[in-house]
Structure formats: structure tokens, C-alpha cells
Amino acid sequence: MIEVKNLVKRYGDHTAVNRLNFTVEEGQIYGFLGPNGAGKSTTMNIITGYLAATEGEVTINGHNILEEPEEAKKCIGYLPEIPPLYMDMTVLEYLKFAAELKKIPKEKREKHIKEIMSLVKITDMKNRLIKNLSKGYRQRVGLAQAILGYPPIIILDEPTVGLDPKQIIEIRDLIKSLGKKHTVILSSHILSEVSAVCDYVMIIANGRLVASDTPDNLSKLTLGSNTVEASIKGTRNTVVKILNQIEEIQNIKYKDSELPGCVDVTITTAKDKDIREELFYKMAGARCPILHINSSTMSLEDIFLQLTENPGKAEKAKTETPQAISAEESEAAQAGESEKVSGEDENVPEEAAEDEMPPEKGMEKVSVSGKPNEEGEQ
Ligand code: ADP
Ligand code: MG
């Protein structure tokens, strides 16, 4: 239905979209998920023919967006990040105007507009000037404009930004119902939103596709490992030596602890391994008391962070960020990050010297679970 090949967009020497490849199939809801500045709007503007790509190709239902823009655009309804509304028109005037532009046959227009207004719940506002509408209602008018003519593909750029929680739920429900008859692509920087609404998620960061799969499969990535965080009293040398004796450990990160005389460690093991008892007895034997221990499985948020953020930064944010993560929130969480000490110690095992889980870990698994991660690296 939509095919995007090797898409590149450069602004001067800044690459906003960097070799994106993906295919969108009919009748599904797709989510573009990524932090602010990831390249979501740029990609959507190119797909919808509002912006020319630097390189690459977009085909909509077999029509190349550059060679047959009219045919291609006919298949798409688009709600851009800033909806193209005319403030001095009433809702009805605006929708009539939009219907005319979309060449909806005159005799059908009135009935169709009525139906769409009822669908997005703006009928009561039809005679209001758009400039007098609240943000939520303006967004709905923008959405109405995108749905007019029931195009097979509906593309919505951050459709719930700036809405209150009740409006967000309504718009999400509306998107879900649209997904029954249309192919929908929406963008968001909020993970919970995308996993609540979408059949398929494409995570983009720095203009690249870093993962793409169903929310379920992305969640399964979280089943891959367990983490144990502990503050252990003792010298780093001793702690490292003892941890080296525990076979089940896959990866260790060391950090300076806020507790005096302690080392903070984050240990990764396979999901089915629980090393806490062994850790307790071994550390007790070496007279290195564990002052704090916490075990967790990786959440979808953690994976999102690992894939989209500087991998070194993801670790701290992980412990502090609840529920839905927006880019701003995660940045805030990282701001207070304490310095990590890398394992330069000669006793540090090879894996531990990494000081952090490689981001490729998640990516590897995503591509295993099947879908386009090709061109991941140049
Ligand atoms: P997103 O929608 O994911 O937040 P955008 O597609 O808006 O991201 O932007 C991607 C990157 O391209 C950002 O770094 C942004 O600053 C840059 N960018 C977007 N539009 C322009 C432009 N017109 N000129 C220069 N840089 C731009
Ligand atoms: Mg955007």
C-alpha cells in the first residue's frame, strides 16, 4: 500500500531522515514512535507529498508521489502537526471548502460532511468560527478534514498532542474505529499511546528505523532478561572478583554509589535466572554486605529508551521514569545522571568492561522477530 525506499532528507548538513525503508500494508494501524526531532513529521510530510525527499522513493498504491502526485495524494487524508485551518471560517464553511478541494461530488457533500462531523463529534460547533474553538475541537476539525472522502490511508501527525485526557481517549477510540476500514499511520512520542492504539509500531530515532514490530512482539523483548540492581559495601576490586564467580551473569555495569564505601552494580541475567540468593551468600562470605537490592524485568519503556536514546543515558532514566515516556520526561530524568565509572579495573571481566548493555541487543532481537530492520547500519 505504501512503500518507502531508502528515504533520505537532509537540511543543510543535518540529516533528518536517514535511509528509511518500510512497507505499510492495508487495514492496519501503524505507529511512528520516536522522541522529538526523530524525523517523524519530516517522513510524514514526504509520504504525503508536502515535502520533497533528498533521496529515495515513496509509492502510494503503486503511484510514485513525485511522478503521480495527484493520484498518490488522492489515496491519503493527512492531519499535519499543525492542522491547516482557516481561522476566520466556521467549521461548516471550512469542511465544505475542504470537501470541494478533495473533489467530493457536489450532491454528496452535504450528507458526507454531516456524517463526518458526527463521527468526530463537532456537529454542535458547526457554526462556530474556528478561531473561537478550543485546541481539542480544532484538532477534531483537522481530523474531520483528513477523513473527508474516506481516503484509504489516513496519516495523523501527533493527533493527541495538547489534548486533555478525556479528549485523548476519545481521539484514540476514534482512531481505532477508523482502523477497521482504513489504513492509519499516526505518530507519537508517547510509547503507551502507540502500544494502546497500533497494530504495528515503528520506532525511529535520529531519522533511522531502529525497531519495528507488533506491540506484543516488542513487549516480548522484555522477556529476554532480568536485571538486579544492588548497592554492595566493599571495594570495587572485591565486588568485581566475586561477581565474576557467578556464572549466570551476562552483563555488569558499575557505578559510584551514593552510599559511602559502596559500589552500585546493575547485573543482567537471562530471564529464567535468579541470582539473588547466590549473590547474597557470596557477598556475605566475602564480608561485603548488600545494603540494597532490587530485581526487575526490562519494561517496554526501557527498550524504547535503549533504542532511541544514547545507550549510556538510558540506564539512569530507566529507574526513574514511570509509565509513559515522553522525550522531555526522559531528558529530565537523565539530567541528574551521576557519572558512571567504566570498568578499567584489570579484574573486570570482559563483558563488564563495556559498562553498558549494547543497544544492538534489542535491535538484534527485533530483526529476529521478523520485520524491517534492514539498512539499520550503513
Ligand atoms: P519529529 O517530528 O520526529 O519531532 P521532525 O521531522 O520535525 O522530527 O524533525 C527532524 C529533524 O529535522 C529535527 O532535528 C529538526 O530540527 C530538523 N528539521 C525539521 N524541519 C527542518 C527545517 N525546515 N529546516 C531545518 N531542520 C529541520
Ligand atoms: Mg513532529
Which ligand 1 atom sits closest to the C-alpha of 45?
6
Q: Looking at residue 239, what is its pLDDT?
A: 94
Beta partners for residue 268, in sequence order: 227, 251
d(CA 163, CA 224): 36
Whose C-alpha lies nearest to ligand 1, atom 13? 37
Question: Cα 3 to chain center, whole Å?
Answer: 20
- The residue written with cell numbers 545522571 in the block is 337
Which ligand 1 atom sits closest to the C-alpha of 17?
10
Q: Is the pTM of this model over 0.75?
A: no
Q: Looking at residue 274, what is its pLDDT?
A: 87
The set of residues, in sequence order, having a beta carbon less than 8 Å from that of 99 and lying 6+ positions away, is 109, 112, 113, 148, 149
Q: Yes or no: say if 324 and 190 are a contact pair by the CB < 8 Å rule.
A: yes
Q: Looking at residue 164, what is its pLDDT?
A: 87
Q: How far is the CA of 330 from the centre of ligand 2 (A)?
A: 17
Q: Is 16 in the pocket of ligand 1 (CB under 6 A)?
A: yes
Q: Is 40 in the pocket of ligand 1 (CB under 6 A)?
A: yes
Q: Looking at residue 300, what is its pLDDT?
A: 67
Q: How far is the CA of 263 from the centre of ligand 1 (A)?
A: 41
Q: Is 11 in the pocket of ligand 1 (CB under 6 A)?
A: yes
Whose C-alpha lies nearest to ligand 1, atom 17? 16
Q: Looking at residue 237, what is its pLDDT?
A: 92
pLDDT in tens, the chain (378 residues): 999 999 999 999 999 999 999 999 998 999 999 989 999 999 999 999 999 999 999 999 999 999 999 999 999 999 999 988 999 999 999 999 999 999 999 999 999 999 999 999 999 999 999 999 998 899 999 999 999 999 999 999 999 988 888 889 989 999 999 999 999 999 998 888 898 899 999 999 999 998 899 988 877 665 567 889 999 999 999 999 999 999 989 889 898 899 999 999 999 887 778 899 999 999 999 999 999 998 876 666 777 777 777 533 333 333 332 233 333 333 333 333 333 333 333 333 333 333 333 333 333 333 333 333 333 333
202 φ, ψ (degrees, to nearest 5) = -115, 120
Whose C-alpha lies nearest to ligand 1, atom 7? 41
Q: Is 39 in the pocket of ligand 1 (CB under 6 A)?
A: yes
Full set of structural domains in the chain with CATH: 2-214 (3.40.50.300), 220-360 (3.30.70.260)
Q: How far is the CA of 153 from the centre of ligand 1 (A)?
A: 23
Q: How far is the CA of 16 from the centre of ligand 1 (A)?
A: 6
Looking at all shown ligands, the one closest to residue 80's CA atom is: 2
Helix (H) or strand (E) holding 239: helix 236-243
Residue 79, classed as helix, strand or coil, is strand
Helix and strand tally (H, E) in the chain? 15, 14
Q: How far is the CA of 39 from the centre of ligand 2 (A)?
A: 7
Which of 89, 101, 94, 102 has the alpha carbon at shortest distance from 120? 94
Which ligand 1 atom sits closest to the C-alpha of 35?
3
d(CA 104, CA 101): 8
143 φ, ψ (degrees, to nearest 5) = -65, -40
d(CA 39, CA 44): 9
Q: Yes or no: say if 68 and 16 are a contact pair by the CB < 8 Å rule.
A: no
d(CA 221, CA 363): 10
Q: Return the beta strands (E) in the chain as ranges.
A: 2-11, 14-24, 29-33, 55-60, 63-64, 76-79, 153-157, 183-188, 200-205, 208-213, 225-233, 249-256, 262-270, 290-297
